[in-house]
Amino acid sequence: MSFCTEIPDGFVYIEDLVPNIKIDLKYYTNDNFVGNKIRGYNAQVAISTKETALALKEIQKDLKHFNYGLKIFDCYRPQRAVDHFVKWAKNNNRKMKSSHYPNVKKINLFTH
C-alpha cells in the first residue's frame, strides 16, 4: 500500500499487516474539530510503528473469534498536521464547536 512516497523508518501501513482492519481518519475529512481536512493527511491510510501494527494484528486475530474487529481513528501524525492544529488554535474559527467541543471554551483546549 504505497500511498505516500516516504514514511519514517520503522513505520508501516497498518493495513499491510492487519487484515480487515477498518480505517476512519477524521483528520482526512472535514468532520473533525477544525472543520477542514488537516494538512499531512493525504490518504485514508493508517501509519504506525511496525511493533504497534504487529500488536494490533494479534488483537484483530483475537477479536475475529467474537466476530469483532478493530477500527482506527488516528495514528502517526505528521508535524505539518500538528502545525495546522496550532494555527487553528490561534484563530477565531469555532465552526465545529457545537459538534466536537460543545462544553469547552476553545481557549481551554490547549495549554500554552
| Residue 33 covered by a domain | yes
| Residue 43 covered by a domain | yes
The owner of cell 474539530 is 33
Range of the domain at 51: 11-108
59: domain CATH number? 3.30.1380.10
Ranges of the chain whose pLDDT falls below 50? 2
| Residue 3 covered by a domain | no
| Residue 99 covered by a domain | yes
pLDDT confidence of residue 24: 95
**Residue 95 to residue 53: CA distance in whole angstroms:** 35
| Residue 57 covered by a domain | yes
pTM: 0.79
* 23 within 8 A of 45, measured Cβ to Cβ: yes
| Residue 90 covered by a domain | yes
| Residue 51 covered by a domain | yes
pLDDT confidence of residue 2: 47
Domains identified in the chain, total number: 1
Per residue in 15-29, pLDDT tens?
Answer: 999 989 999 999 999
Element (H, E) at 23: strand 22-23
| Residue 6 covered by a domain | no
pLDDT confidence of residue 112: 58
